[in-house]
Structure 1
């Protein structure tokens, strides 16, 4: 699908409708995983976070590769592809998802989702640094808005400052940076494997990283409650197997700008579910910070669209056109 040929007036093809279905899955499931993580790693009857990461990703990755093998998809990796998937898998899962799981032992799920929602801003900033280009004024204003939103969201948490709160905020600031770097690495170095196979390898590499970190930190054997088990199963089946693969499929079938709208929807879904199920508070600080963050993300996407129009032959376009 060519990005330049896509418009709002264009009637979606069958592959376009399939892409929107995958995007809907990403909207709902990834938005709800913050709630599931909060339940799964809760301090009363939850899993140790990095142990849970290993238990979640290793079986999911193996199942994806087994299914790919049964459907006769290519599994062989070149040395270059192995390095790309290993490094991106560690950035995406161990850095991005792992820091979120650790932080949600202490932080509300909605707050975690809002800070992770800043990922597009970190990606845009990293691209400006890598390309050695001064960021456009729109991007600068967007980053300022987004980071102001982070401050507004974090002030109520810091008012009850403890070492755990400060460390959880730090982890939630580093998590979207790590996820963004993993996404950027994969986008700039596309592999020839199918999305399902790529997802399987990345989850295995991420799971191995979790297992090593759990051993190094001496995490105790898990003794989870029934609620934590249900949340864990949900994360494996829906968060790892279904949504991550749907995300990659959506990137293949839809323009990148449309797929990236999940960054607006996931935090809203997470905040709503956290309020509805876990009774997490929604205050004026939450509303104001959310507005500033979403404005920052919107401006970042707008700046990216302007770049594509000015120079349509980009790596992002080439990836989508495959």
Structure 2
């Protein structure tokens, strides 16, 4: 193997099965997390959004770091790595996931997933600005088409001027920008530690941010129902420990254009799960907006190739 080449990325080499397995985990589990967040913070779930985030993050952090320590992985990190993981953890979890959890008190899980699916569009825009490169016509067209799809998704709320739905949509709009910013930080400032350790520290720093928000906003103490506790357990074990760690592995093992295909698989699966299990309505606005957002994301990836 030539120096500087990564496994699974050599020209003509097949994609590694380990990387594809982790991508499958991201496809399936992340699609379902929107459903379980909706159950946990929705009516009868009993979890305020930021206490849900704080409790989930601290448990995940301790489990991941303990697992890494027992496997004799390097757990100590440098000051530079701490800054990177703190910033990316806060952007990815507190900024993005926190706004998702807040919005899902009022918004359907499928709608939420479709709004957040625009994150790769924002990622491309942020990278273009940072690189000071003139974007291609395909990228510009994809960005505009994807943003138009978001407007279509918000169409019913705009026509009815439903303030609660508009606030939820605005929060999800900001959530996708925060996720994009966190992804850019993580890719532009790589850390030389294992995926579980990286994930563990990001969860740890995020737990502090969630707890601060919960206390600052005076959230009520959680009083979870059985469905709320089951959702919390699923989000801890599968949504964070398995899926987020798999996402980090996916970025390490697969080409970025393959790894990021989760962005147009997850919203479709999440939309189906919300319709199937929570009886969430799928309207013409939803289908048209979903198609436009997904095509916008596909166009972004094609322009990056």
Q: TM-score, normalised by structure 2?
A: 0.96
User: Do structure 1's residue 66 and structure 2's residue 71 form an aligned pair?
Assistant: no
- Measure, in 1, the Cα distance between the counterparts of 2:258 and 2:11: 11
2:286 matched residue in structure 1: 286
RMSD value, Cα? 1.2
For 1:106, the equivalent position in structure 2 comes to: 106
Q: Secondary structure at the match of 2:154?
A: helix
Does residue 92 in structure 1 map to residue 92 in structure 2? Answer: yes
Instruction: Out of 281-290 and 233-242, give the one that drifted further.
Output: 281-290
Aligned to 1:79: 79
CA shift for structure 1 position 253: 1.1
Corresponding pairs, count = 300
1:135-154 map, 5 Å: 135-154=135-154
The reply on whether 1:198 has 2:203 as its aligned counterpart is: no
Q: For the Cα contact (< 8 Å) 2:9–2:254, is it kept in 1?
A: no
Alignment partners' CA distance in 1, 2:221 and 2:9: 52
Would you say 1:218 and 2:218 are equivalent positions? Answer: yes
Give the C-alpha shift of residue 3 in structure 1.
7.4
Corresponding residue for residue 245 of structure 1: 245
The match for 1:231 is 231
Map of 2:184 onto structure 1: 184
Q: Is the 8 A contact 2:19 2:250 kept in 1?
A: yes
1: distance between equivalents of 2:36 and 2:29?
10
Q: Which string of whole-angstrom CA distances, capped at 9 and with x for unpartnered residues, describes residues 196-243 of structure 1?
A: 100000001011100011010110111121111111110000001100
State the shift of 1:43 in Å: 3.0
Question: Which segments of 5 or more consecutive residues in structure 1 lack a partner in the other structure?
Answer: 306-322
Q: Which residue of 2 aligns with 1:315?
A: none
- How far off is 1:159 after superposition? 3.3
Q: Which residue of 2 aligns with 1:312?
A: none
Task: Give CA deviations for 1:20-78 in whole Å, capped at 9, x if unaligned.
Answer: 01100000000000000000100334300000000101110111000100000001111
Equivalent residues of 2:8, 2:14 under 8 A apart? no
Does 1:34 pair with 2:34? yes
Question: For the Cα contact (< 8 Å) 2:23–2:259, is it kept in 1?
Answer: yes
Runs of 4+ in 1 over 4 A off after TM superposition: none
Cα distance in 2, alignment partners of residues 129 and 107 from structure 1: 31
Q: Are 1:34 and 1:109, in contact at CA under 8 Å, matched by a contact in 2?
A: yes
User: Quick check: 2:7–2:253 contact (8 Å CA) kept in 1?
Assistant: no
Equivalent-residue separation in structure 2 for 1:203 and 1:46 (angstroms): 22
Deviations 1:3-32 (A, max 9, x none): 76345xx444xxx10110110000000000
* Residue equivalent to 1:311: none
Q: Does 1:118 align with 2:118?
A: yes
Aligned equivalents of 1:31, 1:299: Cα separation in 2? 21
d(CA) in 2 for partners of 1:65, 1:190: 19
**Does the CA-based 8 Å contact 1:149-1:293 persist in structure 2?**
yes
Aligned-pair distance for 1:2?
Answer: 6.2
Residue number in structure 2 paired with 1:5: 10
8 Å Cα contact 2:84-2:185 kept in structure 1: yes
Contact 1:147–1:293 (Cα < 8 Å) also in 2: yes
Q: Which residue of 1 aligns with 2:3?
A: none
Describe the shift of the 1:68–1:163 C-alpha distance in structure 2 as closer, same or farther (beyond 3 A): same
In structure 2, the partner of 1:51 is 51
> CA-to-partner distance for each residue in 1:226-272, whole Å, 9 max, x for gaps?
11111111000000110000000111111111010000110011000
